[in-house]
Chains A and B, each alone.
Chain A
Amino acid sequence: MADQTKNQGGSVLRIEEISKSFGPVSALEGVTLHLEPGEVLGLVGSNGAGKSTLVKIITGYYQPDGGRIWVDGEPVEFKSVDDARAHGIETVFQDLALVDELSVYHNLFLNRELTVGRGLRFLRNKRMKEEARRYLSDIQVSIPSVDTPVEKLSGGQRQAIAVARATRQPGMKILLLDEPLAAMGAREASLIIALVKNLAREHGVSMLVVDHNYTHIFELCDRINVIEQGRVTLDKRVEETSLGELTEFMLTSYKQQLQYG
């Protein structure tokens, strides 16, 4: 009970002692972190440190073995992606979660199709197309047509569609971005960075960004957490640290892992 009161501060998201194993492999060993309203938190760490697993737990795709999650000070338990979405958590997955065979607009609306009728829900394709077209032009994403199957799009265009799908949701409070800029050219990356910054500043959306590119992290984030071997090992605001310090820290912990790991 005392524990719970402690966590009812202003944090929009707080996770405590989250652990997750896949068979004998332990991916997360008690991760604790918090995310403040309108804050952009960068999550960095070497490959296999558990960043993507953590993202998939917060988004309801995986269920943790142990630990607790609070959203707006309220304890939550996500059994599915829909559960997390109901709490305003949207995700851009590392693999983008796009279905190549489907059109751009069907991907944008996948599992949240506009429909009529109950039981058998009939697709309102025309409305979905219109809304997709309008939204993509609003955020200045250029694609040949919303009818195009996403398999015909370039890597960067696909990434933009994946980001657009998450940001389109009106009830969004928390946005999880797992390597959102990985496949992007400089121009598209700056477009997405501008979009992300706008969402944080203007709409108060809190974000958790996983990225290997520290330059992007410093450009986007207010605070940085380093996750190593399933734990958070560093928590600093960007103005308290530097690219050099972060690189040095990562290098040191990497060397330690090689020695003792």
Chain B
Amino acid sequence: MGTPVATASTEGRGIPAAPTRPSRWRRLIQGQELVVTLVGIALIIFFSVATSAFATGSNLSTVSGYIAPILILAVAEVPVLTLGEIDLSVGGVYVLSPFLVVYLNNAGIPPLLGIIITLVIGIVIGIINGLITVYLRVPSFITTLGTVFALEGIVLLSSNGIQVNPVGGDTLAQVLGAWQFSSILWALGIAVALHIVFRHTSFGLHITATGGNVTASAESGVKVGWVRVACFAICSLLGAFLGILDGYRIGSLNPGTDGLTLMFYGVAAAVVGGTALTGGKGTIIGAAIGAIVLGVLEDGFNIMGINAFAYQLVLGLAILGAMILNIQMDSLRAGRRGGGRARKKSARGADPGAGQSLPSVEDDSSPESASTH
């Protein structure tokens, strides 16, 4: 690129000043996302061959119904997980939100306005989670564990444990979940929008930066408190929206719905897709693919008549496998901070380029060891 800099990279050794540009596809899908995509394709082929009911039109709507909720919760959690936080309360918001629309309707507020108010309440719950976590320094796991129980309690108390039907006209219901493909279209739309925000805006960059190193980001002037609160707000908003979608999709509202388990499916999909719970690394595309894999798996197992408990077992093993893969792939990348010094050294030994450009640098004098107060 016209620079006199010694451009010796690991992949382009010996080819000076020509940094290899990864193709658009390789940049879009890489590492664990690619692995999960291949697993998903393999599963689809397997179920299509093994069963006659999988690759059918009617099953497409069934599998969409499995995928959509997991997908929305998965992509909702990605920004929060990228911060190294987690939002358990989104499961409670999910149960509460359709009831709020009904209660507001009973109070004389029309459904559409009620939905908008409910979404705003979802945002407010997220902001409260964020404020408690960021400014009162309660770990988000505990903060949102508290709010999820509180919210489910509110639903049970206010409904007396009795099921109700969602309110609103037919068009509203069809658009918001009742039509068989409405949820999945919303889910895919949300995933695309969130991916663009996450990867291509300065807000998205600040999420990754804050999750990677909160002190460094703050020193650079990133408004880390605001970024963190905003991610909780987004997560909660999407949980509220999904609650409404699922209300119309299912057609009745059960106050005993297990939102917490559904939330964990979302987290599982995000983790399977390559988002690290440790923060600093997240992918919306990976989470979406992870959700599709989990949905296909659940649907395929149902069709094959495999015990529903087996799904839980496979899900558990998939999360463990994904997490191990995630961490191992991380160690393969050279020079991670903290305990990465030994690896950094060996990586540089294998890469004459780095040494060539700056021969005098000793790793022993890295900032960690050199900082004296």
Contacts and interface: CB of A to CB of B under 8 A. Distances in A.
Interface string A42-79: 00000110001000000101000000000000000000
Nearest to B366: A155
A85 B3 contact: no
A101 B208 contact: yes
Interface in B21-63: none
A179 interface: yes
A85 B371 CA distance: 25
A102 B5 contact: no
B333 A151 contact: yes
Contacts of B344: 154
B363 A155 contact: yes
Contacts of B200: 122-123
B7 A145 contact: yes
A47 B219 contact: no
Given A47-B372, A183-B367, A151 B358 contact: no
B362 to A, nearest CB: 6
A110 B333 contact: no
A156 B372 CA distance: 17
* Interface of chain A, main secondary structure: loop
Contacts of B366: 154-155, 183
A127 B264 CA distance: 40
A99 interface: yes
Interface string B329-373: 000011111001000100110000110011111110111001111
Interface of A: 47-48, 52, 59, 61, 80-82, 85, 91, 93-102, 106, 110-113, 115, 120-123, 130, 133-134, 136-137, 141-145, 147-149, 151-159, 179, 182-188, 212
A149 B5 CA distance: 17
B3 A151 contact: no
User: Which 3 residue pairs spanning A and B have beta carbons closest together?
Assistant: A185-B360, A155-B366, A156-B361
A121 B353 contact: no
A212 B360 contact: no
A182 B213 CA distance: 20
Most chain A beta-carbon contacts within 10 A, residue among B281, B348, B365: B365
B116 to A, nearest CB: 20
Interface residues of B, number: 57
A228 to B, nearest CB: 14
B213 A111 contact: no
Nearest to B282: A101
A158 B365 CA distance: 12
B288 to A, nearest CB: 20
B109 interface: no
Interface string B58-97: 0000000000000000000000000000000000000000
B315 interface: no
Given A142-B5, A183-B367, 20 more contacts: A97-B216, A98-B213, A99-B213, A100-B280, A101-B281, A110-B217, A111-B221, A120-B201, A144-B10, A144-B357, A147-B19, A151-B340, A155-B363, A155-B366, A157-B358, A157-B361, A158-B367, A183-B361, A188-B361, A212-B372
Interface in B293-338: 333-337
B361 A143 contact: no
B163 interface: no
A85 B361 contact: no
Given A115-B202, A144-B8, A157-B358, A151 B19 contact: no
A100 B213 contact: yes
A244 B222 CA distance: 43
B32 to A, nearest CB: 15
A151 B336 contact: yes
Nearest to A190: B360
A95 B371 contact: yes
A182 B216 contact: no
